[in-house]
Structures are given as C-alpha cells and as structure tokens.
C-alpha cells in the first residue's frame, strides 16, 4: 500500500496532466465529422493518423487498430503463431492478453512474476 500511496502522491503533482483528455474545438469539429460519417473506427482520419505515425517513426508504413487486442492478434498471426504454440504470459496480466492468445488458437502458459519487479524473469519463465 505504501508504494501505491507514493504513486498517487507523485501523479497528483505532475506538471503535465497525462490522465485527463485535452480536447479543443478542432478535435470536437473533427469528431463530429467522424460520427456523422457512420464510420467510427475507419475513416480518412485513420489514414492521416497512420501516415503521420509512419513519418514520425521514420517507417514506410504504420497501421492503426481500434484496440490492443486486435493489434496483438495481428502481431501474433504475422509471427505465424497459432495452433500447437504455447505463449508465456505473466500471471499478473490483463485478460486481453490471454484472450488474444486464445483467439489465434495458441495456448497461454502462465508464469509467476518476480516479487520484486512484478515482471517476468528468466527464472520465472524457466519454471514453466
């Protein structure tokens, strides 16, 4: 609990508010266009976003997804993962990770997290 309280104390004092949306008139105008188009997750603004991200990342292409689960599924399929594959995930994870693994037909294998880092480690992975 102490570390959580330290975390809350820190984020309350941040000078850049990264937890609250910053939406101005321009964003509202474009959002209205998107809603009125009938296409909420695929629109000309998606292509503009992808182009800008590709340029920013100095890549030829980028691909936007409507959620992280879809991105994880696509990434695993691109790696040709699926049936007869086992994918190690931490026991301390979001359900979307396991759902994405199951969606491609692979088997999630749970490994404990390191008690100090709350992340996977070579030791915890070797155990499974």
What is the spatial distance between Cα 98 and Cα 108, in angstroms, rounded to a whole number? 6
- Number of Cβ within a 10 Å radius of residue 15: 4
pLDDT digits (tens, 9 = 90+) for 37-92: 888 878 888 999 999 999 999 999 999 998 999 999 999 999 999 999 999 999 98
Distances in Å between the Cα of 46 and the Cα atoms of 29, 34, 37, 53, 66 are 16, 10, 13, 10, 10
Is pLDDT above 90 for 19? no
Q: Looking at the predicted structure, is the pLDDT value of residue 20 above 60?
A: yes
Section 28-33 average pLDDT: 91
pLDDT band for position 2 (cuts 50, 70, 90): low
Banded model confidence at residue 16, pLDDT cuts 50, 70, 90: low
């Amino acid at each position: 609990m102490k570390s959580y309280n330290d975390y809350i104390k820190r984020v309350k004092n941040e000078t850049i508010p990264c937890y609250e949306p910053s939406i101005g008139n321009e964003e509202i105008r474009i959002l209205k266009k998107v809603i009125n188009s009938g296409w909420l997750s695929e629109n000309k603004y998606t292509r503009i976003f992808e182009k800008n991200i590709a340029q920013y990342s100095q890549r030829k292409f980028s691909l936007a997804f409507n959620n992280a689960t879809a991105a994880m599924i696509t990434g695993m399929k691109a790696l040709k993962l699926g049936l007869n594959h086992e994918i190690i995930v931490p026991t301390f994870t979001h359900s979307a990770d396991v759902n994405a693994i199951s969606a491609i037909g692979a088997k999630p294998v749970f490994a404990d997290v390191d008690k100090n880092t709350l992340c996977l480690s070579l030791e915890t992975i070797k155990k499974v």
